[in-house]
Amino acid sequence: MDKPIGRPNLKFLAGYGVGDFGLNIYWNSLSLILVYWYAEVVGVQPYVAGFIYSVGVLWDAVSDPIIAIYAARNRSRHGAYRPFLLYGGLGLSLAFCLLFWCPPFEGPWLVVHLCLVHMLFRGAYTLVAVPYSAMSSRLSFDSRTRTELSAIRMMFAFLGLLVISGGWFPLSRYFGGGNEDSPTGFFLTAIIGSALAMLALTLCFFATNEKIPPGKVTDQNLRSFVTAFKGNSALRVLLVAILLQSAAVVSFNIPLAFFIEANSGSFAAKEVVMTALAVLTLFAVPFWTYISHIIGRKRTWQIGALLAGIFGAWLVLFGPWVIAGIPLQLVLFGVSFSAFSVLLWSFIPDAVEFGQHAYGERAEGAVFGLILFVQKFSGVIMGVSVGLVLTLIGYDSDLDKQPPNIAIHLGYFLAITPAVLLILSSIAIMRLPLDRYIHARIVDELSA
């Protein structure tokens, strides 16, 4: 069994974590910026923007399991997963720049172009992000070390969030000659972001090293998904919890920029509010890591969901409490969100060994493929839902200032939807038949 001696090496932790800095420059640009880009800069209707977003996420969901199986079957001197970080990074960088290029089309041709480019980027992202996530199952086989790997990964991920939330709109204004919604400004900002992300993924490749898994490793195929789903009870519980948790995050991230825009008279600039959210999310990671070591990961998940419910109720009952232009309840949601980010990516690799012990097959590709499929499928549902909500409440991207009722309705959506989904996910996670002690015993038996 791979037990850490003392504290894990900082280079070991940071070498893996820096890769998620790069991936989250891309991911948070999608979550926080893309629908806003479609609606406010390119000029499509909000429900069309939501549709385009969902088409890309649906394609992502379909391609995730295929790439997961393909990557798990890879054999090279660099390991199964590491080569994808290096060789897929350049294509991903170019696709990201194309994503924020405003084409000279109108009407249906514009929508077709935006859908195809979004699908191209999602495919390139999958080719890098899925192997990166699956690689965590081969860096260590100790549950506590995996939690710390997940924590340091999330700290780098939230640094990527900080770069996007604090830097995107100031840079787009700078390159756009003072215009926040300039197509040129968005495109040049995307070029800078893609360069940073490619550098981070390259560093991750050179700083990590995969280990030989315990037990027998067999090649996987599409049938492995059925076997994993039927034979791995821990995986089935995680799929339900992640479906709800991912939907909660998407239901918060996509409408956030629109909510800030609708409250532009009382809120600070988008980058100020988003940066405050990112900072709180980042600094909460060590807290949740410590709490999970003390009371366990499942109880920590419950506490995070309870906090989300409290912040949501506070927002509904009293409206936004604005301090220096920052809506306090919204940025406090980042504290609860960071809990699930840490816990989620420590549970998943443990589920690989749980299934291997249960039915004799180490199905890394199937486990991560199914998890990522469900995660993206929830994004499809919520992407369409948010676009429809924006249209139904009457959000009009052509207006310089939205009517007061728009801000009120968006505030209710942001307060209630994520909190309810997270509370439901906490109910599901308590049925997970896995903790660090059970996992340690499983790995010992597999190693023997």
CA distance 443 to 436: 10
**Which pLDDT does position 117 carry in this prediction?**
94
**Which pLDDT does position 227 carry in this prediction?**
87
Given a contact cutoff of 8 angstroms between Cβ atoms, the answer to whether 374 and 246 are in contact is yes
Per DSSP, 322 falls in state E
Contacts of 406 (CB under 8 A, 6+ apart): 262, 393, 394, 395
CA-angle at 47, arms to 44 and 50, nearest 5°: 90
Tens-digit pLDDT string for the chain (448 aa): 334 334 557 788 889 999 999 999 998 898 888 988 998 889 888 888 888 888 888 888 788 888 888 888 777 788 888 999 988 989 999 999 999 998 888 888 999 999 999 999 999 999 999 899 888 888 888 878 888 888 888 889 889 988 998 899 899 999 998 888 889 999 999 999 999 999 999 999 999 888 877 766 666 777 888 888 999 999 999 999 999 999 999 899 888 888 998 888 899 988 899 889 888 888 898 899 899 989 999 999 999 999 999 999 999 999 899 999 999 998 899 899 989 988 988 898 899 889 988 888 888 888 888 888 888 888 778 877 888 888 888 887 777 788 888 889 999 999 999 999 999 999 999 999 988 888 889 888 887 7
CA distance 124 to 194: 13
> Between the CA of residue 138 and those of 111, 133, 141, what are the distances in Å?
41, 10, 7
pTM equals 0.78
Contacts of 307 (CB under 8 A, 6+ apart): 332, 335, 336, 339
**Which pLDDT does position 80 carry in this prediction?**
83
**Which pLDDT does position 128 carry in this prediction?**
94
Q: Is 207 exposed, middle or buried (0-12, 13-18, 19+ CB in 10 A)?
A: middle
**Secondary structure of residue 326 in the 3-state scheme:** strand
In 3D space, the residue among 255, 284, 276, 298 whose CA is nearest the CA of residue 407 turns out to be 255
CA distance 136 to 336: 23
Q: Which residue is associated with the tokens 């070591």?
A: 293
**Which pLDDT does position 64 carry in this prediction?**
84
DSSP string, 32-89: IIIHHIIIIII---HHHHHHHHHHHHHHHHHHHHHHHHHHHT---TT-SSHHHHHHHH
CA distance 187 to 185: 6
**Which pLDDT does position 20 carry in this prediction?**
93
In 3D space, the residue among 14, 159, 42 whose CA is nearest the CA of residue 101 turns out to be 42
**Which pLDDT does position 24 carry in this prediction?**
92
Q: Give me the domains of the chain, ranges plus CATH numbers.
A: 15-447 (1.20.1250.20)
Per DSSP, 209 falls in state -
In 3D space, the residue among 288, 249, 192, 204 whose CA is nearest the CA of residue 14 turns out to be 204
In 3D space, the residue among 191, 222, 265, 176 whose CA is nearest the CA of residue 64 turns out to be 222
In 3D space, the residue among 260, 99, 53 whose CA is nearest the CA of residue 169 turns out to be 260
Q: How many residues make up the chain in this entry?
A: 448
**Which pLDDT does position 5 carry in this prediction?**
38
**Which pLDDT does position 2 carry in this prediction?**
39
